[in-house]
Amino acid sequence: MSTEQLEIEGLKQQVKILTEQLMHSEKLASLGQLAAGVAHEINNPIGYVASNLGCLKEYTDSLILLIRRMSEILPIDQSHELKEKYEFDYIIEDLPTLIAQSEAGLQRVIEIIRDLKDFSHLEDAEFVEADLHSGIQSTLNIIANELKYKADLKLNLADIPLISCIPSQINQVLLNFLLNAAQAIDKRGVITINTGFDDNWVWFSVEDNGSGIEKDQLEKIFQPFFTTKDKGQGTGLGLALSRSIVDKHQGILEVKSELGIGSCFTVKLPRIR
């Protein structure tokens, strides 16, 4: 093959890889939209189930009182017999537990839906004043389960002021950092989320004691499609996307890393004045 042909073959190969990666990221994006749509649909029924459950709790309290009062009017052995027949003692013991468990389960579903909606592209694509810590919490609720097999998670949170941001996008950046941190850890490590502020900036960072990044790769990692991971593991889009999100927020994205020691990705966002 001539050098020209070789070059063309190389380019073809590159186009093939890029197309695959693009399809993968498209798939992820549509999965996100699907999740957001489902969350939106579930929201309504969950709302009335929650409010009905509150009513049911009050009604059953009233009914139990009513039965107690009425049984006082009946002759003792008759009321005893009826209560046994209908397992009254067992029911009033079990009922509060059943209701409490249902409430807790429902609360969990409500939290999951709230977190999914935080990631949705359908809602809140506008700048709002938001608490970074609640974004951190939502993101952790989604990903903590995945992280726990890889790392112990430490939170080092300062008493930071509100920031002006698009919360779903900032969560996306945080999620990328956390996933990268977990993927950089070979066996078991520590991931620390820090927050802080000064006169000009409010910042958060994700620190890991994973593989670290080679010096000559530090500039490349923000390029779209740059990845050191196997196919299926990485698209090379996480940090590129993160950088464009941070730019849109007029913030600063910094990385410090040492091979074999670990990495720290920091996002500084402008303080509201």
Ligand X SMILES: Nc1ncnc2c1ncn2[C@@H]1O[C@H](COP(=O)(O)OP(=O)(O)O)[C@@H](O)[C@H]1O
Which residues sit at the interface with Mg ion, rule CB under 5 A?
180, 238
- The candidate with the shortest Cα–Cα distance to 139, out of 117, 110, 121, is 117
Q: How far is the CB of 210 from ligand X (least distance, A)?
A: 5
Q: Which of 132, 181, 202, 246 binds ligand X (CB under 6 A)?
A: 181
Q: What are phi and psi of 269, to 5 degrees?
A: -115, 145
Q: Which is nearer to ligand X, 109 or 261 (CB)?
A: 261
239 counts as binding ligand X under rule CB under 6 A: yes
Task: Give the residue carrying structure tokens 């649909």.
Answer: 41
Q: Which is nearer to ligand X, 119 or 197 (CB)?
A: 119
Q: Which of 138, 168, 171, 176 binds ligand X (CB under 6 A)?
A: 176
> At residue 12, what is the residue type?
K
Beta bridge partners of 206: 193, 265
Stretch that binds ligand X, among 22-30, 103-111, 127-135, 236-244 (CB under 6 A): 236-244
Q: How far is the CB of 143 from ligand X (least distance, A)?
A: 14
Q: How far is the CB of 229 from ligand X (least distance, A)?
A: 4
Q: If 0-12 CB within 10 Å is exposed, 13-18 middle and 19+ buried, where does residue 70 land?
A: exposed
Q: Which is nearer to ligand X, 69 or 187 (CB)?
A: 187
Q: How far is the CB of 257 from ligand X (least distance, A)?
A: 7
Contact 260, 208 (CB under 8 A): no
Contact 154, 192 (CB under 8 A): yes
Residues 197-226 binding ligand X (CB under 6 A) are 208, 210-211, 213, 221, 226
Q: Which of 83, 168, 209, 236 binds ligand X (CB under 6 A)?
A: 236
Q: How far is the CB of 238 from Mg ion (least distance, A)?
A: 3
The distance in angstroms from the start CA to the end CA of the chain is: 63
Question: Could you say which DSSP state residue 160 is in?
Answer: P
Q: What are phi and psi of 109, to 5 degrees?
A: -60, -40
Using Cβ positions, the residue closest to Mg ion within the complex turns out to be 238
Task: Measure the CA dihedral 186/192/193/198, to 10°.
Answer: -130
Crossing angle for the helix pair 3-73 and 88-118, nearest 10 degrees? 150
Q: Which is nearer to ligand X, 215 or 229 (CB)?
A: 229
184 counts as binding ligand X under rule CB under 6 A: yes
Task: Give the residues lining the site for ligand X (CB under 6 A).
Answer: 176, 180-181, 184, 208, 210-211, 213, 221, 226-229, 234-240, 263
